[in-house]
Amino acid sequence: MTKKIGVLAVQGAFYEHIRTLEKCGVQCIEIRKKSDLTALPLDGLVLPGGESTVMGKLMGELELLEPIRALIEEGLPVLGTCAGLILLAKEIAADPVVHLGTMAIVARRNAYGRQLGSFQTIAEFTGGRKIPMVFIRAPFIDAVSADVEILAQVDGHIVAARQNNMVVTAFHPELTDDLTVHYYFLTLVDKALQKKKNLHRLTAIQVSDCR
């Protein structure tokens, strides 16, 4: 069955993620309001790049913040790029604001300065593969807790990481033709689906045992 991935579409470069995910053969659902989260069962969620202040604010006002936090805590796989990374971070350096706050990382906003500091590079993403990375007024990760896996570093700064069902990148995989990060995220989605299936089977066995 085709996997269904929700893409937060309140502001920013959500269309670029949809285009990329469709190349990977999944169905995308734009999330603009609360009912979009429940209209179809989602297998994963993408928080795209944009302005984190705007996205965080709109998520709050459109009553998306709490339901999305609950879905992530229940184990829904989520990919956050750039602003999406900031939305997921438990702490933002030099900023009291926390949005979803589900991932044990400290994010630093505009870590490379203004637009003149934006850059593109090629660096290793977990597994040894080198991929193009585009940083636009990007953050990086200042610190991570012990159970966070570091997926990529550029100039000594953490720019991609994973904690359980959450993957974040400071760069924009959706702005290049390289699908590595999206496929990495989709393997998490597959694992979560498999786990759910096993759980169902287990419950079914238990139920039949009781009979």
Partner 1 sequence: MNNRYELNKNLAQMLKGGVIMDVTTAEQARIAQEAGACAVMALERIPADIRSAGGVSRMSDPKMIKTIQAAVSIPVMAKVRIGHFAEAQILEAIEIDYIDESEVLSPADDTYHIDKRHFSVPFVCGAKDLGEALRRISEGASMIRTKGEPGTGDVVQAVRHMRLINQQIRTIQNTRTDELYQIAKDLQIPYDLVKSVFETGKLPVVNFAAGGIATPADAALMMQLGAEGVFVGSGIFKSGNPAKRAHSIVKAVTNFNDAKLLAELSEDLGEAMVGINEQEIELLMAQRGI
Active site residues: 82, 172, 174
Interacting positions 150-179 with partner 1 (CB under 8 A): 172, 175
Query: Interface with partner 1 includes 116 (CB under 8 A)?
Result: yes
Can you tell me the distance from the alpha carbon of 159 to that of 111, in angstroms, rounded to the nearest whole number? 11
Least distance in Å: CB of 74 to partner 1? 26
The Cα diameter of the chain in Å comes to: 68
**Minimum CB distance to partner 1 smaller for 55 or for 188:** 55
Query: Interface with partner 1 includes 113 (CB under 8 A)?
Result: yes
Query: Interface with partner 1 includes 61 (CB under 8 A)?
Result: yes
Query: Interface with partner 1 includes 182 (CB under 8 A)?
Result: no
Residue with tokens 């933002």: 92
Measured in whole angstroms, how far is the alpha carbon of residue 107 from the centre of its chain? 14
- Is residue 34 within 8 A of residue 63, CB to CB? The reply is yes
Other C-beta atoms closer than 10 Å to the C-beta of 114 total 8
Select the span of 48-56, 142-150, 189-197, 200-208 touching partner 1 (CB under 8 A). 48-56
CA atoms within 13 A on the CB side of 32: 5
Q: What angle do CA 18, 5, 131 make, to 5 degrees?
A: 55
**CA neighbor of 69 nearest in space, from 93, 91, 90:** 90
DSSP lists the bridge partners of residue 123 as 131
CB proximity list for 65: less than 8 A, separation 6 or greater = 56, 59, 99, 100
Least distance in Å: CB of 44 to partner 1? 21
Query: Interface with partner 1 includes 36 (CB under 8 A)?
Result: no
Can you tell me the distance from the alpha carbon of 138 to that of 83, in angstroms, rounded to the nearest whole number? 8
Select the span of 69-77, 99-107, 114-122, 153-161 touching partner 1 (CB under 8 A). 114-122
Least distance in Å: CB of 81 to partner 1? 10
Least distance in Å: CB of 136 to partner 1? 5
Select the span of 8-16, 122-130, 155-163, 192-200 touching partner 1 (CB under 8 A). 8-16
Query: Interface with partner 1 includes 63 (CB under 8 A)?
Result: no
Q: Which residues bind partner 1 (CB under 8 A)?
A: 9-16, 32-33, 49-51, 53-54, 57-58, 61-62, 82-83, 95, 109-110, 113-116, 118-120, 134, 136-137, 172, 175
